[in-house]
Amino acid sequence: MWNDPINTLDGKPTTLASFQGKALMLVNVASKCGLTPQYEQLEAIQKQYEAKGFTVVGFPCNQFNGQEPGSPEEIREFCSTTYGVTFPMMEKIEVNGDGRHPIYQELTKIKDAGGHDGDIRWNFEKFVVSADGQHVTRFDPKTKPDDPKVIAAIEAALPK
């Protein structure tokens, strides 16, 4: 997962290894979803915890009712203008099916608190990864980024 190549929304090649040593929240995002207002909470926790070694990483995905149809420029414009997003955004990827990105091939093996593993269920499914990369906690799409369970997972994942 750490070394799987991916491009940023700007088309620059990178890997998750560039974030090693930080706690991460990996989340598949969409601009035209009922859960899209979660961007506001994602940005709030980005600002609250970034100085402590944390970042949100967004993965736009158009696999759920075509709710992320935009080009990279349109996605960037929407996120920055509507929600003031400052956290890193990756290129649009597939999180399910034959074209599932290798990062999500790894993430979908993880069970959430309800025992769900496998396919991503909808936009805004969240994975909190500890700074040492050893622990990943999965949260369903409707669990808000500022839910006390998510905040507890973030705080436990921060660099020691």
- Give the residue-averaged pLDDT of 106-130: 96
Pairing of strands 136-139, 6-7: unpaired
Number of independent structural domains in the chain: 1
What was the pLDDT predicted at 14?
97
Mean pLDDT score of the chain: 96
Percent with pLDDT over 70 in the chain:
100
What was the pLDDT predicted at 1?
85
Q: Convert 18-27 to b/e letters by CB count within 10 Å (16 or more is b).
A: ebeebbbbbb
State pTM to two decimals.
0.96
What was the pLDDT predicted at 38?
95
List, by residue number, the catalytic residues: 33
The rounded distance, in Å, linking the Cα atoms of 77 and 85 is 10
Helices (H), the chain: 38-49, 72-83, 102-107, 148-157
**What CATH number is attached to the domain comprising 144?**
3.40.30.10
Residue 15 has pLDDT above 90, yes or no: yes
Q: Is residue 1 part of a domain?
A: no
User: Tens digit of pLDDT for each residue in 64-105?
Assistant: 999 999 999 999 999 999 999 999 999 999 999 999 999 999
Pairing of strands 54-60, 13-14: unpaired
Q: 14: domain range?
A: 6-157
